Structure 1
Amino acid sequence: MERGGRVTGFLAFTGELTVDVLPRLIRPHRLRWRAIVAGIEQAGLYALPIVGLLAFLMGVVMTYQGGSVLRSYGANVFLVDLIGITMLREMGPLLAAIIVAGRTGSAYAAEIGTMQITEEVDALRTLGITPYEMLVLPRVAALAVAMPLLSVWADAMGVLGGMIVANGLYDVSFATFLDRLPYAVPVRMFWAGIGKTPVFALLIAMVGCYHGLRVRGSAEEVGRATTMAVVQSIFLVIIADAVFSVVFQQFGI
């Protein structure tokens, strides 16, 4: 019953957000651009180090593990295909989304949840300002912009990590790697990976804001909402990625 209530509540939240936001999108000058830019800085710029480091290490690990198998068949050069396709189509966007869910989605839930406890959200409503306008829309818009850029950064760092290991351990030079990469990874695979990221951003931001607005009562509820936001957003991102994989496969992408 509780799980069904959460689904119903999230659908209601989505409907209310859509009704509140659509008229504002028709009049872009009414958007809170300063809050959106600040959100891009917080969710995107400050996340670059951790996203880049983990993507780099992921590229290193995949190349190290895959290279030992390919070397036994004398197919070292196919490391380019392995790293390029895996990082650009799947691992780069997915890794960035999971990190953002843990870092930014949890922050959204905690910030809005704390505002609920201190009655700041009620004060906004008293002033005639909806929480969707002031709190949700800027966060959703900021993450929708930051997420594709973080995905490109993760792709680049993952490929760089793979390229360094391939050159150092498996005799695939930087020049060979870069020459083969455009042929090994069609452009459509890169765009397929990037195309998923706005959906990931929408899911992460909406789940985080939804759980923040549900907080009632005590600081303990803030911790519970933060945990639920992270767990559910990562779950939904993985489900969405699986759906995208099936759809792309049907269209031959």
Structure 2
Amino acid sequence: MPPMASPPPPRPTPPVSDPRPTPPILPQPPSSCVAGETAVMSVDVDDINVDNNNAITRITKVKNLKIGDMIRGYDADLNPTQCRVEAVGNFGSGEVFGNYTSSHYMLKEKSKVIEEHGTRGDMTIDEKYDLISNCPLVEDEVGNKFGPIDSDFCGGHVKEISWSDYLLLHKAILNVVRESGAFWFSGASYSNFDMVNTHAPHVCRTMVSCMKDNESCHELESASIAFIENGLSDSARKRALAAFHNIGSHRRLGSVSASVTSGGSVRKLRGNDKRESAE
């Protein structure tokens, strides 16, 4: 019986090309935000009782808020009041713990300090938003009191800040928003969140220093330039530089310092002061 012929070697399988396009690498949003599903108490802006806290309230999700809406919050003396939404925007999706990202600053009721939310609460993936009102704190439907700032803005190691420093930061940021626009509270305004997190702590520190001493604002200008040049998208950068047309000169109107301090850093410049301001 003749020997059986060996089977032919298997043909190599050609590589299968993936028809799906490679997704673009997108900048990662900041870790600090509020879940879009978070509910706050809002009131009709035309309610005649808005100013005396007797207005009829309704539940509104953060993702449905818009500039000009009136919501329940707390003033600088921690008295309940109605607050106007000054800016609100989306920052993509990500982890939240009980409706807040771990680094978002909240009021610690017992000690009256502002601290990180941490990882307490169930972890979910949700659309993330951030907002600022004309009140330092906004209250959600279960009584949590939160603001627009997180520990990343002041450096990840800053787990808590005093109430007095927090009030200064809130006022400074609110002044910037009113001077230049609400685009700061939109994820689309940022091109590189790694650079944002690198430069934001210097802005935070120098903002507080400038607010405490209007004569010590020159560092805020350089910190702001670095933040704007390295962290913002092209369109947001143009808007920021148009609003702060004298950025770098803390004693002039049109500087970041002048906005932050409501004009407190502005001086009439003469001789050497002009040269110093330009440096």
Same fold (TM over 0.5): no
TM-score range, shorter chain: under 0.3
Name which structure has the greater RCO, CA cutoff 8 Å, separation 6+: 1
Taking structure 2 as the reference length, the TM-score comes to 0.21
Taking structure 1 as the reference length, the TM-score comes to 0.22
Q: Of Structure 1 and Structure 2, which has the larger fraction of its residues in helix?
A: 1
Q: Of Structure 1 and Structure 2, which has the larger fraction of its residues in strand?
A: 2
